[in-house]
Amino acid sequence: MVATKQRRVRKSPEERRAEIAQAAVRLVGEKGYYGTSLKDVADAVGMSQPGLLHYIGNKEGLLSMLITDNYDVFGTPDDFMASGLPGSDPDRLLFPAYLRYLVRYNAQRRELVALYIALEAEAMGPDHPLHEYFDGRPQEVWDHYSRYPWCIPPQMGSWEDSMKPLVRRCIEAMDGVQLRWMRNPPVDLYDEWLAFEELLFPSPMWDNYR
């Protein structure tokens, strides 16, 4: 009996990039940026290093793939408005409802959240390639959210004049809750966020605006 040679399946560039991103998310989340080599990523997807570089350019390009092309592009207010969930109506768009949506979304991508936490800690050093990204992230988040027509209590005044400190606190609280979620024993990410929501958006002012 003559053995037949198995035909090699050629993958599309999109499939290859998705494989690379999936492997890198896991590796960098476990070992950090500095602890992960391009060889580690190439081995994880069964590629040579030159083949890997064809898709990412260099190691910093790998970070761009993971953060700006993956983490940052999903779970957005646009995704929320398309969801049809309570509070997602563009004519009455509710910020606390969006944050609950984001928490639920992040609960489904644990490895990406672990990656984000690991990189944020590493990027404290000024030589890290994402140092400026994380330094500028609070302002970038504020600018991004400010593009949307959020409906907030009239006592708060306008979004532009009153909400920036609150948005910053929401980011800080969410970062802390996600970090605690990663530790053992883990908290329930959504339930823990709901407890913070009561503090950040208290009654009676925020009733009917959550």
The CA distances from residue 65 to 33, 50, 112, 148, 155, in Å, are: 13, 17, 12, 26, 41
Q: Which of the four pLDDT bands, split at 50, 70 and 90, describes residue 7?
A: low
Nearest to 195 by CA among 173, 175, 180, 179: 173
The string of pLDDT tens digits covering residues 20-61 is: 888 888 898 888 888 899 999 999 999 999 999 888 888 888
CA distance 98 to 78: 10
Model confidence pLDDT, tens digit, residues 74-98: 899 999 999 999 999 999 999 999 9
pTM (2 decimals)? 0.84
- Would you state the structure tokens that stand for residue 77, as one six-digit string? 């207010």
110's enclosing H/E stretch is: helix 110-122
What one-letter code names the amino acid at 79? D
